[in-house]
Amino acid sequence: MNNTVIRTLSGLVFLLIMIGSLLIGPIAYAAVILFIIAVVMHEYLEISLGKSYRIPRLLAIFTGLSLFLIMFLIMEYKLEARFLLIALIPLSATYISLIWEKETESYHKNQYLAGSVLYTALPFALTTLIVYKENGTFDGTTLLFFFIILWVSDIGAYVFGMLFGQKNGHKLFPSISPKKSWEGFYGGLGSAILFAIIIYISGLSDFNIFHTLIIAVIINITSVLGDLAESQFKRNFGVKDSGSLMPGHGGLLDRFDGALTSFPLAIAYIKLLSLF
């Protein structure tokens, strides 16, 4: 079985799981997101810290899981926001655990422990803010809209990059990602805008056409930047793929690198303008 077939099949399984979790209900959504957070944080910490700092790494992952779970419980069961302070307990324990590490450079590892929470867990925790309507009912369509734009952007960038950007194309950021081209970038942007219009016409968007297009552009552009940031992160540690969970795609960090930067900004746009 060639790599293209493997990549396509694993991608389809991934899509079905994500779409299914958003359509089934809150418990399925929470279970899938908790799994993703655990794997993405593990991959991030494996790259940055290797096999060392086992206890601090576990505590950092527990912090990330707690952050999402508490935010989910607040939204699902109408708990008070002050319960978020509970996440400070494992976060503090993460730093305290470094006292027992024997390496002289252990203090400098704080940036990766904190980074794993802020960079990988927080964006997923913020999705709880857009999967509940004003009346408190669960509705995953807005988050599904986010994912559709993200996936379409990736596919559009890949197709246009292959067709027009490989031989005589213009490199987007060759020092970080030699294969990315401006042709692919504009192809992804055009695809995102086109599908944003389709999503609006189909009624899957809770926003007017202007805000639907703005959100699509935010997700498209910042997801490209997120992809480049993650590529630079891996290059600094001499790593090609963040993992091997998804055959043909790499790890989950590779799959969600764009979402980690684009989703928080899109959510901030929605919330700051009181659109949701």
If you write DSSP's letter for every residue of 220-250 in order, what string do you get? HHHHHHHHHHHHHHHHHTT-S-S-SSBTTTB
Contact yes or no for 234/226 (Cβ under 8 A): no
38 phi-psi bin (left φ>0, alpha ψ -120 to 50, beta other): alpha
DSSP 138: B
Query: What is the distance between the alpha carbons of residues 257 and 226, in angstroms, rounded to a whole number?
Result: 6
Q: Clarify whether residues 212 and 253 are in a common domain.
A: yes
Q: Clarify whether residues 237 and 148 are in a common domain.
A: yes
Query: What is the distance between the alpha carbons of residues 264 and 13, in angstroms, rounded to a whole number?
Result: 25
Q: What is the pLDDT of residue 174?
A: 84
- Closest listed residue to residue 193, CA positions, set 141, 255, 148: 148
Q: Clarify whether residues 153 and 62 are in a common domain.
A: no
**Structure-token pair, residue 60:** 């950092």
Q: Which residue has the tokens 């294969």?
A: 179
Q: What residue spans of 50-181 are helical by DSSP H?
A: 54-77, 88-96, 110-115, 122-126, 141-160
**Structure-token pair, residue 215:** 């959100």
Q: Is residue 77 part of a domain?
A: yes
Tally of structural domains, the chain: 2
Contact yes or no for 110/95 (Cβ under 8 A): yes
Query: By 3-state DSSP, what share of the chain in percent is helix, strand and coil, each rounded to 5?
Result: 75, 5, 20
Query: What is the distance between the alpha carbons of residues 34 and 43, in angstroms, rounded to a whole number?
Result: 14
One-letter amino acid of 161: G
Q: What is the pLDDT of residue 246?
A: 62
Q: What is the pLDDT of residue 256?
A: 93
Query: What is the distance between the alpha carbons of residues 15 and 21, in angstroms, rounded to a whole number?
Result: 10
Q: Clarify whether residues 39 and 117 are in a common domain.
A: yes
Q: Which of 132, 163, 182 is the last residue of a domain?
A: 132
DSSP 203: T
DSSP 116: I
Q: Clarify whether residues 90 and 122 are in a common domain.
A: yes
Q: Clarify whether residues 200 and 172 are in a common domain.
A: yes
Q: Clarify whether residues 188 and 273 are in a common domain.
A: yes
Q: Is residue 7 part of a domain?
A: no
Q: Which of 71, 99, 132 is the last residue of a domain?
A: 132
Q: What is the pLDDT of residue 122?
A: 97
Q: Which residue has the tokens 């910490």?
A: 45
Q: Clarify whether residues 126 and 151 are in a common domain.
A: no
Q: What is the pLDDT of residue 3?
A: 57
Query: What is the distance between the alpha carbons of residues 77 and 54, in angstroms, rounded to a whole number?
Result: 34
Q: Which of 111, 132, 153 is the last residue of a domain?
A: 132
The segments of the chain whose pLDDT lies below 70 read 1-8, 104, 106, 244-249
Q: Which residues span the domain enclosing 106?
A: 26-132
